[in-house]
Amino acid sequence: MHPTLDARTVFYSFSPDLKPALRVDQNQEFILKTLDCFSGQIKSDQDLLDRLDWNHVNPATGPVFISGAMPGDIIGFDILGIKLGHDSRVVVAPGEGVPGEMISSMETVVLKHRENFLDFNGLAMLPFKPMVGVIGVAPKDRTIPNGTPERHGGNMDCRIITTGSRVYFEVEVEGALFGCGDLHSAQGDGEIGVSGAETSGEVRLKGTVYPKLKGLPTPFVETEDMVATIFSAESSDEAVRGAVKNMIHFLNHFAGISVNHAAMLMSMAGNLCFCQVVDPLKTVRFEFPKKVLPVLHVLNG
């Protein structure tokens, strides 16, 4: 049985003042049971966004203290498994999300989880694409509400953060003080309407410090076949620039590729993607395929 935190052990802001709820060793698997981003407040199609107690949104389960993780270290969290809850909810509201001005009334749809798909009231069948929306570590000198994505992670709503991915952060506080929540059973790039298919569930993880990766531009994601930088900023333009610059920096410092060649390779083989454009800061990622550069196998380990 892996060390487990239940879904009542949540926090709403990443902060250096958080008290560890669980202590684990590096490479030790642990399980976090999570609430949906509305803390379970939206149960039926009749529960609209104006019913929400906004002090209890975007809960993350944790914090988890990883032994030996010291400020300045790069820590990678492997997502080993995701279990989704029994249903999901998606919402719209006037003024919210990219199409906010086209939306004249609030609406909630609760989607049933069928065996192989999400049931949108019989109107549409969506494939399950589980992902973790909020994931991060405590920043050293600030308190950041879980709804905001930044360098420490947070509400990045990045759909490649899923089973089989490793998410790297720079440790700012001893033990890292890790937490995650806000599972989506499906979400498209951009999350344009302001929510994904929001669900509860559980995540199985392990965290490990990678001394060779000191200086990695974080947050950073590694999957079986790609690496990706993630950058959040006030405008999507700034986020685009940040994600691109971080990938150039990564290819330059960790793969020995010149800046010019990195720009060429990224222009030919990389993908610039929106994670989300609806949260307090916008989040962009730059994906680069591993197979293009054999030297990227330095990361495997």
For residues 19 to 48, the per-residue mask of contacts with Ca ion, x marking binding by CB under 5 A and - elsewhere, is ------------------------------
Rounded to 10 degrees, what is the CA torsion of 179, 182, 183, 185? -170
Instruction: Kindly tell me which of 64 and 275 has the beta carbon lying closer to Ca ion.
Output: 275
Interacting partner of 165 out of Ca ion, Zn ion, none (Cβ under 5 to 8 A depending on kind) = none
Q: Does 198 bind Ca ion (CB under 5 A)?
A: no
Instruction: Kindly tell me which of 59 and 133 has the beta carbon lying closer to Ca ion.
Output: 133
Q: Which helix (H) or strand (E) holds 171?
A: none
Instruction: Kindly tell me which of 3 and 280 has the beta carbon lying closer to Ca ion.
Output: 280
Single residue of 155, 162, 187, 218 touching Ca ion by CB under 5 A: 155
Between CA 299 and CA 301 the distance in angstroms is: 6
Q: What's the min distance (Å) between Cβ of 283 and Zn ion?
A: 13
Residues 166-195 touching Ca ion, rule: CB under 5 A, are 182
Q: What's the min distance (Å) between Cβ of 182 and Ca ion?
A: 5
Between CA 173 and CA 75 the distance in angstroms is: 12
- Paired tokens of 9: 């052990």
Annotate 151-175 with b (16+ C-beta within 10 A) or e (fewer). Answer: bbbbbbbbbbbbeebbbbbbbbbbb
Q: Which residues bind Zn ion (CB under 5 A)?
A: 37, 133, 182, 198
Instruction: Kindly tell me which of 37 and 158 has the beta carbon lying closer to Zn ion.
Output: 37
Mark the segment that binds Ca ion (CB under 5 A) among 23-31, 45-53, 127-135, 211-219: 127-135
Indicate the SS3 state at residue 275: strand
Q: What's the min distance (Å) between Cβ of 273 and Zn ion?
A: 17
Spatial contact of 204 and 30, defined as CB atoms under 8 Å apart: yes
- Among residues 175, 143, 160, 155, the alpha carbon closest in space to that of 22 is found at 175
Applying CB under 5 A, the residues found at the interface with Ca ion are: 133, 155, 157, 182
